[in-house]
Amino acid sequence: MESKYALTKPPSKLCGSYNSNGMFPVKRKLQNPGNTGIEENGGAKVTKWEWISKNNRLDSSTVTEDNETQNHLQNMQNRSPVKLSPKSQIEEQRQALPVTRVRKNLMQEVYRSDTLLIMGETGSGKTTQIPQFLLASGYGNKGVIAVTQPRRVAAITVARRVSQEQHCQLGDVVGYTVRFEDCTSPKTRIRFMTDGFLLREALADRMLRNYSVIMLDEAHERTISTDVLFGVVKEAQQERRLRSLTPLKVIITSATMDIDHFGEYFGVRGMYLEGRTHPVRVMHTVTTQPDYLHAALVTLFDIHRNTPVNYDVLIFLTGQEEIEAMAHQIRQIAKSNLDTLFGVRVFPLYAQLPQNKQLECFLPAPANARKIVLATNIAETSVTMPGIRCVIDAGYVKRRIYTPSTGLDVLRAVRISQAQAWQRCGRAGRDAPGVCYRTYTQQEMNAFEKMPKPEILRSNICSTVLQLLALGVNCRSFDFLDRPSPEAIEVAYRKLESLGAIQNTSNTPELTPLGRQMAQFPLDPQYSKLLLAAPQFGCMEEMLHLVAVLSGENVFVTSNERREQAALAHAKFQSKHGDHLTLLNVFSAFQKIDKVKLWCHDNFLNTRNLLYAREVRKQLLEIIERLQLQVNSCGENHDQVRKCLLMGLFDNIAELQRDHFYLTITGRQRAKIHPSSVFHGKYRPEYIIYTEILLTERNFLRQVTEISPEWVVEVVPNFVHLSRIKNK
């Protein structure tokens, strides 16, 4: 397969004129933000590249590359590193960041304005330095400085870096809080957290009086929690002003954002922070690639043969399965091509990976080996992996899209947005000049959407609606940056009403006493209903176990090399009644083990996810005790657990059809049981409940359990689709 790359000409210059402080007010919509620092095409020469083909044979292709890049590579090979103490290195790196040069002017803008929109390029230092500037300027004396991140791993890694720069223990002056994990103390002045956690804090105090500054970072990601926070902090700011309380400063930051849209919403002008730390050269393929995975693979091995060992590589892929498959290929090809000067170390990075494994990719590569990180979009923002000089962007991301009318969650690989493409590009220039290789053409990128569609417009908003109602907010009148469709809001209201959480949905929805209790849990309303219903079925202990596991990531480890051994190990926990009780068996056994790492290794279970579930259970138990709910157990009578599951999952009932497909009772969707289920390829129960319905190449029901139709009449007699269930 022939694959050609061409150096990309940078986008047109950003609008506006620069001030001496390196910032300018943005007056109109920015085109292709994040381009400053990308080098122009100089005197290019054609260089032969050798590619590793699918069957490990070599063929040739051409790319363009300029003289300056060649000289830079040679200089890097010849350069002798200057050894500095860790403290001196950190301070030198801080002073070199573009944001440091505009510190004085930036703080003047913060002082003058209660709300500030900052669009700063990837690598400019905004995430790590602005909170420290605020602390040094005394804002930490008036309250905590909160910095939100869309992802747990970003909140944790950035907090660690800032604590190093502040020369303090993590959890002292600088700490982090994510769901079910709090690493802070009364001394903490800079607090990194997920956006979802800050939203839950607003339930206790709508004016967020603990905070003097709230910095909403990576605003372009537009998670549901961030979108709701825009309205919450805007309202808190206005309310504190009316009551003459300590003003709340709000700073919205991102490398890419629709600055006009944000500016109109907050009623302020946006500011652009000029400059990135290092230039990044961007290369597009000359022709469309039919197989982006193969294009990424051959690009990687050309980099491996022709660049110094300290040029580590980051490849953006769509998900765990793709990452694991490519990691296996890379290792196999590297073993069969021993003529290279040095080896490779491959590090995967995706959400379901254990946290200790996630953090491995942030460590320096071993001597005489190149670090190769294979990541999902988890690596797009706020995290800096030392040594990354080359980025290979496959141009795809896995995205969930929820359809309110059917209740269907579609998960498929789709094209990224232009904003995401520039975010990924910036990963190559964090600590040295770099190169970004895009496995798509310039014309293809021009057809990408400008910004990703906000999550609130493509997701199930039931949990969000419950949280807003707990805040006393009617979603029909809430000031959303982008309002969800009326259909999505009405579907969420009907779902909450069926769960018993709200009443009077046609006029002004009101939380019921049960709904107020449900809002106390940082869970999907279906799961909080399960816990609140458990005492009447005598199975609170079991439901605590189960909800804790369901709240985290997959606890089963699958191995391509040891698939049969893994299947045998997992079979020990399987329940004849289905997947929920299988998960319950796993966690119940885990709770009795002392040497958890060895036990999990032997049983092909994810230690980190089970430990996380243990911590979740602990904190859920604290909420249950605060609500004074009875903690009881049904012992071996697991029918009680299955009946209790109906209290929250009654909308997720499916009936077996003659063609061996299942038909969902509520949405009338045809689906198969997911291959990960204990029922897959075996016994097919007539009626099942499932955790979710997922569309990949076809509809799949995930985490299913057999039920009896008589139980539906007994447990949820008011179920609106009861007539569709046969009398047995």
What is the per-residue pLDDT for 70? Answer: 40
Domain endpoint, select from 435, 455, 475: 455
577-597 mean pLDDT: 94
Using a pLDDT cut of 90, give the percent of the chain over it. Answer: 49
The pLDDT mean for the chain works out to 82
What is the per-residue pLDDT for 56? Answer: 27
Please check whether residue 583 lies inside any domain of the structure: yes
What is the per-residue pLDDT for 341? Answer: 59
What is the per-residue pLDDT for 212? Answer: 96
Question: SS3 string of 73-121?
Answer: HHHHHHCCCCCCCHHHHHHHHHHHCHHHHCHHHHHHHHHHCCEEEEEEC
pLDDT bin (cut points 50, 70, 90) of residue 27 is very low
CB under 8 Å to 132, separation ≥6 — which residues? 162, 165, 166, 190
Nearest to 68 by CA among 96, 40, 35: 40
Quick: pLDDT tens for 221-277. 888 889 999 999 999 999 999 999 999 999 999 877 788 889 899 988 888 877 666
Q: Are residues 395 and 469 in the same domain?
A: no
What are 503's two structure tokens?
A: 């009443």
How is residue 37 annotated by DSSP? T
pLDDT bin (cut points 50, 70, 90) of residue 294 is very high
Are the C-beta atoms of 121 and 255 separated by less than 8 Å? yes
Q: Are residues 352 and 481 in the same domain?
A: no
**Cα radius of gyration rounded to whole Å, the chain:** 27
CB under 8 Å to 529, separation ≥6 — which residues? 499, 500, 501, 514, 518, 647, 648
Q: Are residues 667 and 534 in the same domain?
A: yes
Question: Distance of CA 62 to CAs 46, 391, 393, 408, Å?
Answer: 7, 19, 19, 45
Q: What does the alpha-carbon distance between residue 32 and residue 681 come to, in Å, rounded to a whole number?
A: 49
Map residue 477 onto helix, strand or coil.
Answer: coil
CB under 8 Å to 138, separation ≥6 — which residues? none
197-210 mean pLDDT: 90
CB under 8 Å to 678, separation ≥6 — which residues? 574, 575, 578, 579, 582
Q: Residue length, the chain?
A: 728
Top pLDDT among 608 and 70 is at: 608
- In the block, which residue shows the tokens 């076809």? 698
Q: Are residues 233 and 356 in the same domain?
A: no
Say what the pTM is: 0.73
Q: Are residues 406 and 481 in the same domain?
A: no
- Give 647's Cβ-side CA count (13 Å radius): 21
What is the per-residue pLDDT for 76? Answer: 36
Please check whether residue 74 lies inside any domain of the structure: no
- Give 487's Cβ-side CA count (13 Å radius): 9
Domain of 591, in residue numbers: 525-724
Angle between helices 579-591 and 639-649 (to 10 degrees): 120
Quick: pLDDT tens for 499-536. 999 987 667 888 999 999 999 998 999 999 999 999 99
Domain endpoint, select from 437, 455, 473: 455
Are the C-beta atoms of 714 and 689 separated by less than 8 Å? no
Cα–chain center distance at 103: 30
Map residue 413 onto helix, strand or coil.
Answer: strand
Q: Are residues 417 and 432 in the same domain?
A: yes
Top pLDDT among 593 and 86 is at: 593
CB under 8 Å to 287, separation ≥6 — which residues? 2, 3, 4, 441
Domain endpoint, select from 224, 245, 273: 273
Top pLDDT among 43 and 600 is at: 600
Are the C-beta atoms of 398 and 319 separated by less than 8 Å? yes
Q: What is the CATH number of the domain that holds 447?
A: 3.40.50.300
What is the per-residue pLDDT for 475? Answer: 86
pLDDT bin (cut points 50, 70, 90) of residue 68 is very low
Nearest to 390 by CA among 364, 371, 414: 371
184-191 mean pLDDT: 95
Q: What does the alpha-carbon distance between residue 374 and residue 176 come to, in Å, rounded to a whole number?
A: 26
Count each helix (H run) and each strand (E run) in the chain, helices first: 25, 27
What is the per-residue pLDDT for 71? Answer: 44
- Quick one: 332 exposed, middle or buried, by C-beta within 10 A (0-12, 13-18, 19+)? exposed
Query: What phi, psi does 525 have (nearest 5°)?
Result: -55, -30
What is the per-residue pLDDT for 365? Answer: 79
Nearest to 150 by CA among 230, 215, 219: 219
What is the per-residue pLDDT for 560? Answer: 65
Are the C-beta atoms of 56 and 294 separated by less than 8 Å? no
Cα–chain center distance at 130: 23
Q: What does the alpha-carbon distance between residue 127 and residue 207 come to, in Å, rounded to a whole number?
A: 24
Question: SS3 string of 357-407?
Answer: HHHHCCCCCCCCEEEEEEECHHHCCCCCCCCEEEEEECCEEEEEEEECCCC
Q: Are residues 624 and 574 in the same domain?
A: yes
For 248-294, give the DSSP string.
Answer: PEEEEEESS--HHHHHHHHTS-EEEE---SS-EEEEEESS--S-HHH
What is the per-residue pLDDT for 674? Answer: 92
What is the per-residue pLDDT for 383? Answer: 67
Please check whether residue 219 lies inside any domain of the structure: yes
- Cα dihedral 459→465→468→473 (10° resolution): 120
Question: SS3 string of 647-674?
Answer: HHHCCCEEEECCCCCEEECCCCCEEEEC
Please check whether residue 703 lies inside any domain of the structure: yes
CB under 8 Å to 48, separation ≥6 — which residues? 60, 62
Q: Are residues 533 and 660 in the same domain?
A: yes
Per residue in 284-296, is it b (16+ CB within 10 Å) or e — as a string? bbbeebeebbbbb
Q: What does the alpha-carbon distance between residue 197 and residue 156 come to, in Å, rounded to a whole number?
A: 13
583: left (phi over 0), alpha (psi -120 to 50) or beta: alpha
Number of structural domains found in the chain: 4
Please check whether residue 417 lies inside any domain of the structure: yes
Query: Does residue 63 carry a pLDDT above 70?
Result: no
Q: What does the alpha-carbon distance between residue 261 and residue 246 come to, in Å, rounded to a whole number?
A: 28
Are the C-beta atoms of 397 and 404 separated by less than 8 Å? no
Q: What does the alpha-carbon distance between residue 508 and residue 361 come to, in Å, rounded to a whole number?
A: 50
Please check whether residue 50 lies inside any domain of the structure: no
Query: Does residue 77 carry a pLDDT above 70?
Result: no
CB under 8 Å to 592, separation ≥6 — which residues? none
What are 321's two structure tokens?
A: 């399965």
Query: Does residue 132 carry a pLDDT above 70?
Result: yes
Quick: pLDDT tens for 382-441. 567 888 999 999 999 988 888 777 767 777 889 999 988 988 988 887 778 899 999 999
Quick: pLDDT tens for 321-368. 899 899 989 988 888 776 555 788 999 988 777 666 777 878 887 788
- Which of 52-66, 236-250, 507-521, 659-673 comes out lowest in average pLDDT? 52-66
Quick: pLDDT tens for 143-186. 999 999 988 888 998 999 999 999 999 999 999 998 778 899 99
Please check whether residue 420 lies inside any domain of the structure: yes
- CA end-to-end distance (rounded Å), the chain: 60
Q: Are residues 541 and 470 in the same domain?
A: no
- Give 435's Cβ-side CA count (13 Å radius): 23
- In the block, which residue shows the tokens 């590619």? 51
What are 267's two structure tokens?
A: 């009623």
Please check whether residue 429 lies inside any domain of the structure: yes
Quick: pLDDT tens for 448-496. 998 888 889 988 899 989 988 988 888 888 889 999 988 889 889 999 9
What are 120's two structure tokens?
A: 């700063």
Query: Does residue 620 carry a pLDDT above 90?
Result: yes
Please, what is the Cα angle at 540 between 463 and 407, to 5 degrees? 30
What is the per-residue pLDDT for 7? Answer: 53
Are the C-beta atoms of 614 and 594 separated by less than 8 Å? no
Q: Are residues 139 and 163 in the same domain?
A: yes
Identity of the amino acid at 453:
K
What are 195's two structure tokens?
A: 């956006």
Q: What is the CATH number of the domain that holds 513?
A: 1.10.10
Q: Are residues 350 and 260 in the same domain?
A: no
Map residue 45 onto helix, strand or coil.
Answer: strand
Query: Does residue 83 carry a pLDDT above 50?
Result: no
Q: Are residues 507 and 569 in the same domain?
A: no
Quick: pLDDT tens for 551-563. 888 899 876 668 8
What is the per-residue pLDDT for 382? Answer: 58
